[in-house]
A and B are shown apart, each in its own frame.
Chain A
């Protein structure tokens, strides 16, 4: 098991599930992105240990695996907070005042792209999530919140007990 894995995640058959994903693609290097998707789903983020293990199994240079993992925004090399707020900064959301939402989250939690020191909240920004009819939109732990206001964010933060 890789170090720094989220403590809350069950200590179960994640290794086996990852192995199954790789064998489904016959351990082909072409399937690297699929494998990284699965790994991130299972572990929450891609630790150096995990990347090395994948490189070994797929017979790829570790540099290639890190190169791919760091190229794509979707892959996270650091652990995420318990809750994640992703503010959409697509054009429609931008025009509708999404920057104000980022400012509020940065003021109350942490800078965009980081996690609060207590590991409670991660703040992220996204490039258009395709929910332009609902602008400004925020993804809160995977669910899209529509027409969000800074006050609405305050309420969510209070509900989850963020400082």
Chain B
């Protein structure tokens, strides 16, 4: 496919879609699929046939529409009406040209003018819920692969790196390292072989952003990686994706095949000299493989254990070659930056955190689901306007950053969400999991939960992490059963410091974060557990144990 073919294909597909009377879009992301979206899609397809509406009405699957709590979701594109909790019995009404037939669906119509929709800014998720992730033509109609064409035709690799640097994009995997600097480091290495790796080993409990992006818009990630390959001089890319993400793996495989067939990946991309292949590597369930050196070891077929840095992967990564590793969401931002320019991107967000961030809202919140907001939005906006607030009871804390992050109490609800502000209040941006807790959640137990996670996921290579997490877990466990004393609390604080200072990789270094942040903001709960053998949230069941003692 040449650039002219690409533009022609876009026009052709756009006109084809415009000529239809209606397109019925069914959300087929993992959430909606597990409540029966595939059956609904099948029923609608059957109904189109039964009512003789082929060629006039079309049904297709899309990526995540965001409002997972009301799935399965179906969007009628012609009149822009979104329906929730749809069943197969609604198929006839959805297909019918007569608006009166839709009346039964009216109570389940979701207001697209609600804050959940209008308060969001979509870059990464721009196509999610709008295009069929299994059809390349859909992505092309939405302007897909034009950023790659622009990079190849109008920009040198150096200019491409420069555009990313100027945009101010920072790594969306959690640490927030400037993406442009990383690209520059890899680009200036003089090695003959270089690699581009996409980190899709999304392991933080409570995070499903990357999964949704891969399931909903896989071509965007492929395009971002191909642009990266062009910019840094790599011809081979790998996507390291979690083994648990079956649907994402399947859609990526389909997308790679489609792109190769049309010369958008592989050799002679867009009939030009550039070649870039992408292969999948399926993870096997080890959280530590999200750490870049462990991820490299795993792609090489070894135990996923991290190693000492430096050398950093941009100098010596996969098989010793310079390797660029970025997160899924980072790559998904690239096509938009190349197409619309660095200035456009850097106008969104705050002074040091540019662009948008995708969050997965879960826990005690009305609108569980997937959202994208500009950097600098406050937690109050995210949780109470977009998220719709707490279903019952009172807000207690929001947990960001998974087992490496912290709990944010009510007094910081108005802090803007960006890398620096969250670090200042003892949490991290993390990959984007945002879990809301109300007063029934016990903070000591939450700390215990995350410590158990780190203990089990510790790879065992360095001693502070291997044994330290076990000791910290044991203290926290005894606190929740009412067996800990003041000395334990002092020991817990000492160990937190030790792990942070002496662990080999990020897993051990950040493992104490949930403990430190809950100790800082919810010290009273720890004291109640230790001194009074009482759990203020009533979660640990200490009163009952006390009574039988």
Show the binding face of A for B, using Cβ within 8 Å.
28-34, 36-37, 64, 67-68, 71-75, 89-92, 94-96, 126-135, 137, 142-146
Residue in B31, B282, B437 whose beta carbon sits within 8 Å of that of A134 in the complex? B31
**What are 16 A-B interface contacts by the 8 Å CB criterion?**
A33-B282, A68-B302, A73-B286, A91-B205, A91-B206, A91-B433, A91-B449, A94-B205, A128-B206, A130-B208, A130-B242, A132-B207, A133-B69, A133-B208, A133-B369, A134-B34
Evaluate contact between B202 and A91: CB separation under 8 angstroms: no
Per a CB cutoff under 8 Å, which of B245, B284, B435 touches A91?
A: B435
Residues of A within 8 A of B206 (CB): 90-92, 128, 132
Instruction: Show the binding face of B for A, using Cβ within 8 Å.
Output: 30-31, 33-35, 68-69, 71, 202-208, 211, 242-246, 281-287, 298-304, 360, 362-364, 368-370, 399, 402, 433, 435, 437, 441, 449-450, 453, 456-457, 459
Given the known A-B contacts A91-B402, A127-B205, are A73 and B298 also in contact in the complex, defined by CB atoms under 8 Å? no
C-alpha spacing A33/B295, complex, angstroms: 12
Contact of B34 among A73, A91, A131 (CB under 8 A): A131
Partner of A33, one of B204, B207, B281: B281
- Separation in Å of the B449 CB from the closest CB of chain A? 6
Q: Does A91 contact B203, Cβ atoms closer than 8 Å?
A: no
Query: Which 10 A-B residue pairs are closest in the complex by CB-CB distance?
Result: A133-B68, A72-B284, A90-B205, A73-B285, A132-B362, A92-B362, A128-B205, A74-B285, A144-B34, A32-B301
Q: How far is the CA of A101 from the CA of B286 in the complex (A)?
A: 23
Residues of chain A contacted by B35 (CB below 8 angstroms): 134, 146
Q: Which of A33, A128, A137 contacts B284 (CB 8 A)?
A: A33
Taken together as a complex, chains A and B put the C-alpha atoms of A35 and B205 apart, in Å, by 28
A71 x B303 contact (CB < 8 A): yes
Q: How far is the CA of A137 from the CA of B285 in the complex (A)?
A: 18
Chain A residue numbers with a CB within 8 Å of B207 are 128, 130, 132
- Whether the Cβ atoms of A72 and B285 lie closer than 8 Å is yes
Minimum Cβ distance to chain B for residue A97 (Å): 10
Known contacts A127-B453, A128-B206, A133-B362; is-contact A73 B284 (Cβ 8 Å)? yes
**Smallest CB-CB separation from B64: which chain A residue?**
A133
B244 surroundings in chain A (CB, below 8 A)? 126, 129-130
Give the complex CA separation of A68 and B31 in angstroms. Answer: 32
